Amino acid sequence: MNFNQKLDHAIEKNNSLLCVGLDPDFEKLPESIRNVKNPQFEFNKKIIEATADLVCAFKPNSAFYEARGEQGIRDLKMTCSYINKNYPDIPIILDAKRADIGNTNNEYIKFVFGYLRIDAVTLHPYLGHETIQPFLELKDKGIIVLCKTSNPGAGEIQNLIVNGEKLYKLIARKIVNEWNKNNNCLMVVGATYPEELAEVREISGDMTFLVPGVGAQGGDVEATIKAGLNKAKKGMIINSSRGIIFASSGDDFADVAKKEARKLRDEINKYRV
């Protein structure tokens, strides 16, 4: 089963376009968890157990694990192994925004797909097609390229006019027309820019978007869903990290995360009809 098939299966099974971002900022973990042996893993495990029947994917962001050095990498590995073993139907996306020259890419690929056994990874397009190609050749994996990101300063570079159009549109065209030969490309389009999301949807046919920016970053769910759905009323992986995993800072964090995940999943579905 390739990434898109696995994603589709999870979307149908859980009736969900929601992705829970596993960004366990160590300083924000409840005190009772911070003191255990594998704190980020133990926190994630509870979040995963509470939300696995409500999501279409989990997305750990590498930064939160790298920040803790070898302990963090161990917790990330344990998290991925736990999902693969106990919830093999749920795809894992590693948010790492990779892509580099050839020999460096090989090492990234070994880490992400060899060591962690992840299903999809985020990449930036800045070094060009040549540096995306080794990832594109991995036919069964999801290759998720940044197009229009959710951050306030995204336009500084992404809205520059290149060849008569905004750069993010040119990137979207490249992904769709040149880079997606193996039908394994997705792209990142932030929920904080619904107008641009609609423009990118126009360019991209039915391609699936990873859409961060609802929840803590304030993206409007209704506007996002209406702008980004494809013809099959899906084509979006809507990520929320802090808005779900840190909805409570107390020991009831998993129960509250479950409630928030259900609320957001249902709100998304309300606009899919």
- Integer Cα distance of 85 and 88 in angstroms: 6
Q: Which of 228, 268, 215 has its CA nearest to residue 14?
A: 268
CA quadruple 167, 208, 102, 113: dihedral sign:
positive
Q: CB-wise, 41 or 58, nearer to ligand OMP?
A: 58
Q: Minimum CB separation from ligand OMP for residue 260, in Å?
A: 11
| Residue closest to ligand OMP, measured at CB | 149
Q: Minimum CB separation from ligand OMP for residue 118, in Å?
A: 13
3-class DSSP state of 190: coil
Q: Minimum CB separation from ligand OMP for residue 217, in Å?
A: 4
Q: CB-wise, 153 or 164, nearer to ligand OMP?
A: 153
- Integer Cα distance of 16 and 268 in angstroms: 8
Q: What is the DSSP string of 233-268?
A: S--EEEEESHHHHTS--STTHHHHHHHHHHHHHHHH
Q: CB-wise, 4 or 239, nearer to ligand OMP?
A: 239
Q: CB-wise, 39 or 243, nearer to ligand OMP?
A: 243
Q: Minimum CB separation from ligand OMP for residue 24, in Å?
A: 11
CB 33 within 8 A of CB 73: no
Q: CB-wise, 213 or 235, nearer to ligand OMP?
A: 213
Q: CB-wise, 142 or 212, nearer to ligand OMP?
A: 212
Q: Minimum CB separation from ligand OMP for residue 224, in Å?
A: 13
Task: Give the binding site for ligand OMP (CB under 6 A).
Answer: 21, 23, 61, 95, 122, 149-150, 188, 190, 212-213, 215-217, 239-243
3-class DSSP state of 4: helix
Could you give phi then psi for residue 198, rounded to 5 degrees? -65, -40
Which letter, b or e, does each residue of 150-173 get, where b requires 16 or more Cβ atoms within 10 Å of its Cβ? beeebbeebeeeeeeebbbbbbbb
User: Looking at 97, 169, 234, 258, which residue is catalytic?
Assistant: 97
- Integer Cα distance of 178 and 196 in angstroms: 21
Is 97 in the active site? yes
Q: Minimum CB separation from ligand OMP for residue 219, in Å?
A: 9
- Integer Cα distance of 271 and 266 in angstroms: 9
Q: Which residues have a catalytic role annotated?
A: 97
